[in-house]
Structure formats: structure tokens, C-alpha cells
Structure 1
């Protein structure tokens, strides 16, 4: 039995020799990412099936300053019924939910109430999201608060300055402390790749996060000027593959920010399948951080089932 299917990533000692000689060729990464998505065409029932898979991997997210318990409850209702029942029935699917609902720590309790009795997990951002520029003890306290409120998963942000300075030991120590604070909650480490300057930094930070015990590595907060891109994702997936080859443990991947269309959902799944294999295309190893993406997927599913695009008023309430 693959131990990674039954055990979380426990992390390793900090092992710089696994990553300190990495030097990513940016033009080559861009060409590879572009060619992968260009040569795979998904049509008709195949496209519809891949879009439904994308839905079950979405972390449906609200991270706005004006979030309220009612808004969170509405989002949770959408997570529990993201696609209209009659459309699922037409495709031979009995039920479907999103992968999780992601909120701020103070909204975790509201999400827990709204999702009570379901298997949809609650994810919470923490550690001074999105910048992470808070003292470490306060960041750890925020993790513990979210966990105690009932969060099943914690999306933490790393200290970008430690990456830019190459202080891998300090970054590893912070992430280990965060992993411990998460306890049984899964830790998704947000690298904020748009602020790490180079793909080489992205690759090295990915390795450090996994060595510190991250269950997922995530591209972005969604608040940076540049969020998830295919070349960045390619580099992170290669790091995940290398870590799995070395340790036998599978780490999940979450692109976030900038994925807005059904085509985006297909492109990222193609990249996952090509680089890591279809075993990674499930919610335990792949999530998409999104708020507006689901609307376009709903439109495409409606078109597949009925032959026409539904009016926005006919779609699941957002």
C-alpha cells in the first residue's frame, strides 16, 4: 500500500542539498507549460467530466473585509450544491460538493454551522494573511485560534523576506512551528510566488515547505499583483514530484488567484495529469482556490446538458 494514501507528510530534517543547486530555466519552463496545455484538447463529455472534477477540487473562498456570517452561510450553501441537481442527474451524477470552503478565522464558526452534517471541510487562512508581517507568536496564536474554532485546514503564508534573503533555516523553523500549531488540521503553505522574484526561489521555497511538513503547497494568496501562473505551477509540481521520489509521501498542490474560467480549470488539471499523474486529480491532493471560477464552470455544464448557456439568474446562487 502506498503510505502516502494513509499518512500525512511528516516532513524531514532540513536538507538543503535537495534544492540548493536548483536553477530554473525560466524560458524553458514557460515553453513547457504552454506546450502541455496546447496539445491536450478536451471536448464534449470528456470536457464535462473534467469540469465536474474541477468543481469537487475547488476551495470556494470568501476573503473580503465585509464578510458576514450570512454571506458565509450563502457560500456554504453553494459549496453543498454547486451544480443544479437536474444537471447532475442528466450526467448520471448523484451528488457533488466543492472540496472545501475557505474563510477568515473569525468566520470559521459560521462556516462550521452552515456545513454541519456534511463532509465539506472548513479551511481558514491564518498567520497574518495575506502579508504575514506579524510577530511569529501572533501568527501561531492565529493558527491555534482558527483550529480551536473548528478549522479542518489552515492556509498559512510564509515570510517572503526569508526566501529573498535565502535564509532557509529560519524559514524551515517558522514552518515547523506552524505545522505543530496546526495539530490535526492540514497545513497548506502559501508561497506568494508573485513576490518571490524568480522561479528558482519558488522551487527552493517549495522544497523547504515540504521538508517542514506542509500537506499542500499553494501558489498565492490571491492578493498579489501576479498570482497563479502555469510556469510557476509547473515548477512547484516538479518539486512535489521530486519530494515524492525521495520520501514516498505525496504533497498536495493548490493554485489560487487568477483562475476565473472553465478553460483555466481544464489547463491546470492537464498540467497536474501530465506532471504528477491522474492520482493527484482528487481533492485530497489538488485544490483550486477560487471565488468566481465556479460561475463559468456552471455555464459550461449547462451548455453541455441543455445545448444553451443558462442566464445568470438560473445558476446556483453565489
Structure 2
């Protein structure tokens, strides 16, 4: 998808977020009852299918990525698969090679654009996207230039993301807002310029910030997604990432999406969970295998 024709940034400039209303709604979401017994097993299974299985460590090696892919294929042989494998650009060839050897069609996602800080020159960030795509990445997780957002340069941010969109080509583009560094809920909402610029997803965090995925910020982001859909008819996906560690938390994120966006978003093409390495994934999977109703 190329950049949207919706470039009326006056929409963005007029936005104001009611903080108290956001916090109240987030409390309501956290108080929702989660499914039990066989229904819980079904929802946990759905959570697993929406996970981007991720390794973004400084000591990642080809063998680490290969082992990650092998573990994924072991799960696949048991009838469970995640949405994608996410790695650094330098590790994309390793992941593609391992999955190809296992005859897997699972997509490889790559972070890019100077992840996690996004503080490298624009041309360097663009080239990183191009290289990841040429190496076989089917999805690219970009980070925004937070300086542009914090200082209110929304048109410049829009232009940058449009360039990333073009560099991605046919690859899906997830745009990471790094919400813990944007300062206000209003800045988070105004980052809907990422949707205007052609993002397939908006994502809360890199997982490297002090504050990552939180329910109040998620409310602001999914409301922006809903408003954008009502204005344009185009559905943009949502990905919370960072700090999601338990099966119970994954159920609550699914409940939030169902409540705020509806059933259409409860699928991997519109909802992903960011899970560092295997923590969330294995917790969900373990719960499934131990559930009598599932077995």
C-alpha cells in the first residue's frame, strides 16, 4: 500500500485527548472477566497465533536464530504456529534460511530504521529497510523519529514514513511509536500520521523503553485506528509490545481489541502480540497443553 491520499494534517493539529476518560476506560478493560476452561484454551490458542516470536538481543547469532526457528517448527508440528519470526536485519538471512529448510511459509519480520532509537541518518534508515526486504523479510517494523513527534513536526514525520513505506515495497510495514518517549496521550494519538502515510500496523513500543505497552496508551491507539477506519474505510492493525509476559495478560489484550475494535481485528493480519524470545509464547502454549478441555 502506498501513502494514503488522506494528508489533511489539520485533523492531527486539532486533536486533544481526554486523559481522565482514557484512564477510566483502561480500568474498565482491566476489570473484564477472562474466559474459563475450554473457552480459555481457545482464546489462548488464538493469542499464540497472533504472536510475533521475537529475538532482539545484542548477542544474537545465526545459531540462536536457527534454534528459535526449530522451536517454532516443533510447535507447528503440534498444530500451533505463531504469526511471524522477528529478528534484527543482520539475522534476516539466517531466519529465512532456517524456515526455508523446514519448508515453512511463516513470514520473517525485521526491525529497521535504526531500531530502537531511530537516531541514524534518514538515508541509512532507508537503506536498512531495503536490505532487510532484499534479504527476504516480508514484514518491516520501523521506528518513528521521536524528535519530530515531540516537537510537533507532523508533516515531516508523515513524509519520512511515506519514504519508509516506499522502501518496504510489498512488505508489510509496522510502525513503532515508542509511546514511552512521546510524552502525552495527545502525541500518541497524533501519531496517526503513521496510518496516513501507509502503515499496515501501528505498534506501541520497541520493548527497549522504560514504559512499553500499557492499557491507557492502547486505548488511545485503538481509538485512533477506529477513527481512521471510520474516516477512510481502511483497517490498520495494532501490536502491543514490551512487558507482556503471561498468558493472562495476552487474554486481556485480546479482550481489549474485541471491545474496542471488534472481531474483525482478532486475527493475525490485524492484531499481533510482541513477545520477547519465547516467554509469552511458551506460557500460552504450556497452558494449552495442560488444559484438560483442550487435550
Alignment counterpart, residue 200 of structure 2, candidates 196, 211, 215: 215
Q: Which runs of 5+ in 2 are unaligned?
A: none
For 1:95-114, what per-residue CA distance to the aligned partner results, in whole angstroms no more than 9, with x for missing partners?
Answer: 22100000001100110011
Alignment counterpart, residue 110 of structure 1, candidates 77, 83, 94: 94
Task: Give the structure 2 partner of residue 302 of structure 1.
Answer: 289
SS at match of 2:52: strand
- 2:263 matched to 1:278? yes
CA distance in 2, matches of 1:26, 1:120: 39
CA distance in 2, matches of 1:9, 1:283: 21
1:1-318 to 2 correspondences below 5 Å: 8=1, 10-82=3-75, 85=78, 95-116=79-100, 117-205=103-191, 207-291=192-276, 292-305=279-292
By how many angstroms is 1:137 displaced?
Answer: 0.4
CA distance in 2, matches of 1:56, 1:119: 14
Maintained 8 Å contact 2:9/2:155: no
By how many angstroms is 1:306 displaced?
Answer: 8.3
Task: Evaluate the alpha carbon distance shift between residue 84 and residue 261 of structure 1 in structure 2; reply closer, same or farther with a 3 A threshold.
Answer: farther
SS at match of 1:305: coil
SS at match of 1:81: helix
SS at match of 2:291: helix
Return structure 1 stretches of 4+ with deviation > 6 angstroms. Answer: none
Maintained 8 Å contact 1:9/1:250: no
CA distance in 1, matches of 2:25, 2:167: 38
By how many angstroms is 1:75 displaced?
Answer: 1.0
SS at match of 2:210: coil
By how many angstroms is 1:12 displaced?
Answer: 2.6
Size of the aligned set, in residue pairs, is 291
Which stretch shows the higher mean deviation, 254-263 or 69-78?
69-78
Q: Which runs of 5+ in 1 are unaligned?
A: 1-7, 86-94, 308-318
Task: Evaluate the alpha carbon distance shift between residue 269 and residue 67 of structure 1 in structure 2; reply closer, same or farther with a 3 A threshold.
Answer: same
CA distance in 2, matches of 1:256, 1:39: 21
Maintained 8 Å contact 1:79/1:100: no
By how many angstroms is 1:33 displaced?
Answer: 1.6
By how many angstroms is 1:192 displaced?
Answer: 0.2
Give the TM-score normalised by structure 1.
0.88
CA distance in 2, matches of 1:125, 1:219: 14
